[in-house]
Structure 1
C-alpha cells in the first residue's frame, strides 16, 4: 500500500485503515503480532509518532490489544469489529447523501421510502 499524502484523510487514519484491511484479508490473523510503530514508520517513511497514532486507533476500537513488552496483537473479534464499523460508517454516509439529494430534488420521505423498497424488491428478485 502507498499512503496518499495528498489525501484529506490524515496519514495515521490511512495506517489504521490499511491494517484493518490486512486483517479483513487475513494477512494479519487473530492473536497475531501487528507491525510495531517503528516498522510502520520504516515501511511508509513516516514519523513513528504518526504510526503510533494509527495503532492506537486499533487499540481504542478493540481491534488490537497490547501485550506488555511484546507489542500489539490482533484481537480475537477484530474482523467482527471492523466489519461492523465499516458497514455502519459507509451505509450511514450513503444514506445521508441519498436523503440530502432527495431533499434537493423535493422528494418526500414517503416517496423516498417507496423508492428504497422498490430497489430492495428488484435486488431480491435478481437473486432468484
Structure 2
C-alpha cells in the first residue's frame, strides 16, 4: 500500500536530513516551496511538515520557517531501525523458522546475498 502523500513529503525531508543535505539548524523547505516543487496542495505539504514538528525532527522559528532540530538524525534513525526490524527482520525470522534454518544458515544466507550485491568489495 502506498503511503499518503503527506507522509511521503515528510520522508523526503527526513532523507535529506539523514544524507546530510539538510543539517542541524538549517531551514527546511517551506510548505509553499514543497507544494510548488511537487505540484501538490500546500495543505498536504503543511501536514507533512506538521508531522515532522510533532516528531521533534523540525522546529518552528516564528516568522522565519521550519528548521532541523539537533536530535533529528537520532529520532529518524531510531524510528527507521524499529520499522526495519518490524517490516523486514521479523518476517525473515518467521520464515526461516518455518524453513528450519539455524542461526548459522541465516547468517550464511545474508552473507551470500550481501556478497552478490557487492557489499563486501
Q: Under a length normalisation based on structure 1, what TM-score does the superposition of the two structures give?
A: 0.75
Please provide the CA RMSD for this pair. 2.5
> Which of 17, 23, 32 is the matching residue for 1:29?
23
SS of 1:82's equivalent?
Answer: helix
Q: Following TM superposition, by how much is the alpha carbon of 1:76 offset from its aligned partner in structure 2, in angstroms? A: 0.8
Matched, 1:72 2:50: no
Matched, 1:51 2:42: no
The CA deviation string for residues 18-48 of structure 1, in whole angstroms up to 9 with x for no partner, is: 1001011111110011111111000000000
State the alpha-carbon separation in 1 of the partners of residues 84 and 104 from structure 2: 17
Q: Which runs of 5+ in 1 are unaligned?
A: 1-6
SS of 2:48's equivalent?
Answer: helix
Q: What are the residue-to-residue correspondences of 1:1-128 with 2, within 5 Å?
A: 8-102=2-96, 105=98, 107=100, 114-115=102-103, 119=107
State the alpha-carbon separation in 1 of the partners of residues 93 and 19 from structure 2: 32
State the alpha-carbon separation in 2 of the partners of residues 84 and 117 from structure 1: 28
Q: Which runs of 5+ in 2 are unaligned?
A: 112-119
The CA deviation string for residues 74-103 of structure 1, in whole angstroms up to 9 with x for no partner, is: 001111111111111111211331244246
